[in-house]
Amino acid sequence: MEKKTIVFTGGGSAGHVTPNIAIINEIRTEWTISYIGSKKGIEKELIVKIDIPYYGISSGKLRRYVDVENVIDLFRVIKGCVEARRILKRVKPDLVFSKGGFVSVPVILAARSLHIPIFIHESDMTPGLANKISQRFATKIFTSFEETKKFFPKSKTMAIGSPIRREVLMGSKEKGRRFLDFHQGRPILTIMGGSLGAKKINEVVRTALPQLRATYQIVHLCGKNNVDSSLSSLPGYRQFEYVHEELPDILAATNIVITRGGSNSIFEFLALKIPMLIIPLSLQQSRGDQIVNAKAFEKEGFSQTLAEEDLTSESLIKYVGKVEKTSDMIRSKMNASQQTNGLQVLVDEINRMGKNTN
């Protein structure tokens, strides 16, 4: 039987790419797969590593405010549409799957002009601008949160949870401790500031290291070019720009995680039953989606939230302590959660679409 062809798109941050990779890993033996992203975004780096054909297009930035760059970016989007249409005509996909991010809009518009079915998935509680634009062209829309359905057409929207990478759930606590050279005498605190790192979180964590190291062994994923070599020899403190293959083992060994409020990450930590301290991006840095995600998880009892504006070494130590004291209760709430892994649902829906296309 001839393989069907699917094109994935989405970029701007790892949060728009890792769910696509989770799906790709599940369907790559049954489908011919390509990826369309920006020419220099993080998506290119991540997709090339998994040996999937990658096509870069021009893309602008979708802003919610008046800026002269909006005019320039409009032409970039138009150019991106032309480039994406040319690629789609050559690849001839049976389906386009989008995780959002500004690069996805030209791909969605091009796919619609060629009458190619389109699936989109929205991870956050409130939809991003790219998916708000794309929804009218989508064949089906999937969301992580039940509450998000109200922002999309009811007839084609389904709440399924977040597509969680299978490999993340298969880590070994023992391997993680060995890789980190950590002992069993103290709990492990893992700090993840997102795919690009988090300058303020990095700074505050390092200021608080004397107090934190008195209680925890610390894994600090600090982002590209953010390793502080002067701290490399500190016992019980390991820092990395980014980890790939070792991440599942590190997370399996982790007792508490400090994280941004990106939906994909916090759903993974929920699936792994790791109590969280969420420090969402502020309104000065984002549209506020991480703040809404964090509040939703805190309401469910899965986490504590510390606003970045209130982040100091003292408040960090205080809130990590609050998570530690309530960790048994948090894990109990997580175990009782009805949140699901949307990965299998998406794989089934993609395969169903493949069977229905000629």
Q: Where are the domains of the chain?
A: 4-163+341-356, 167-335
What torsion do the CA atoms of 192, 242, 119, 82 make, to the nearest 10 degrees? Answer: 130
**Owner of token pair 């929205």:** 122
Confirm if 142 and 342 have CB atoms less than 8 A apart: yes
| pLDDT in the model for residue 71 | 58
CATH architecture classification, 4-163+341-356? 3-Layer(aba) Sandwich (3.40)
pLDDT digits (tens, 9 = 90+) for 233-285: 999 999 998 888 999 999 999 999 999 998 989 999 999 999 999 999 887 77
pLDDT digits (tens, 9 = 90+) for 18-40: 899 999 999 999 999 999 999 88
| pLDDT in the model for residue 192 | 92
| pLDDT in the model for residue 89 | 97
CATH H-level, domain 167-335: superfamily: Glycogen Phosphorylase B; (3.40.50.2000)
How high does pLDDT run on average in the chain? 91
pLDDT digits (tens, 9 = 90+) for 58-108: 886 655 545 555 556 677 788 999 999 999 999 999 999 999 888 999 999
| pLDDT in the model for residue 64 | 52
Q: Is the pLDDT of residue 355 over 90?
A: no
The DSSP-derived string for 71-92 is HHHHHHHHHHHHHHHHHHHHH-
| pLDDT in the model for residue 247 | 95
* Domain 167-335 in the same topology as domain 4-163+341-356: yes
